[in-house]
Amino acid sequence: AQTVTQSQPEMSVQEAETVTLSCTYDTSESNYYLFWYKQPPSRQMILVIRQEAYKQQNATENRFSVNFQKAAKSFSLKISDSQLGDTAMYFCAFMKPLISGTYKYIFGTGTRLKVLA
Amino acid sequence: GAVVSQHPSWVICKSGTSVKIECRSLDFQATTMFWYRQFPKQSLMLMATSNEGSKATYEQGVEKDKFLINHASLTLSTLTVTSAHPEDSSFYICSARAPSEGGNTEAFFGQGTRLTVV
């Protein structure tokens, strides 16, 4: 069975600095997707960034980038120039297609990030 | 991006009553929707996969008679918590998969429903 592990329950970073959130996963699949989702105090889940496993190039979205190490099954999120609005819970998620044609998402336990003024 | 609307955002009900939560995909058709439960400061736990026009697929340990799921159209799935008890109090989140650029798919989430059973 697939598992997603986020080993940092809480982190803090000074505004304008850079922070990296860790995520490791375990799977025997070759075709899958990885995501980072943000859940602010409003509880609305927001997609931050996604990575297709077949792509070697690391995904980037403005201040957000990932370090995808497929062999090591590692998928860390780097937030540059941290902003107060980045304060939220961050979930790493693994998605795989199922034989039935649907998909299954598995979420990590989350990292609570606080950006300090 | 695609919009998923969940209603109500919060509900308080008496023990023993039933509560229905709606999940709508507003600008796309969703053949599959997912229902999650989230306890305070914890991750999302998949409860069931809702399939349009067929029975939902429940995760192990989730009582299908307790959590009734109906996916009658391509834009609406409902979760009914039957005979609710205080231990059912939680945050429930739905999501739907929508096609995105390049054929990849990603999940879009509703706003969540905070259920409190008193």
User: Which residue among A44, A102, A110 places its CB closest to the CB of B109?
Assistant: A44
**Which B residues 16-55 touch A at CB under 8 Å?**
32, 34, 38, 41-44, 46, 49, 51
Mean pLDDT by 10 residues, chain B (118 residues): 90 97 92 91 90 88 95 92 96 84 72 96
| Chain A residue at shortest CA distance from B104 | A52
Residues B43, A107: C-beta atoms closer than 8 Å: yes
Q: At a CB cut-off of 8 Å and minimum separation 6, what does B77 contact?
A: B22, B23, B30, B33, B35, B50, B52, B69, B70, B71, B94, B96
Q: Find the helix or strand (DSSP H, E) in which A4 lies.
A: strand A3-5
pLDDT of A62: 96
User: Which residue among B41, B43, B104 places its CB closest to the CB of A91?
Assistant: B43
What is the arithmetic mean of pLDDT over A2-19?
95
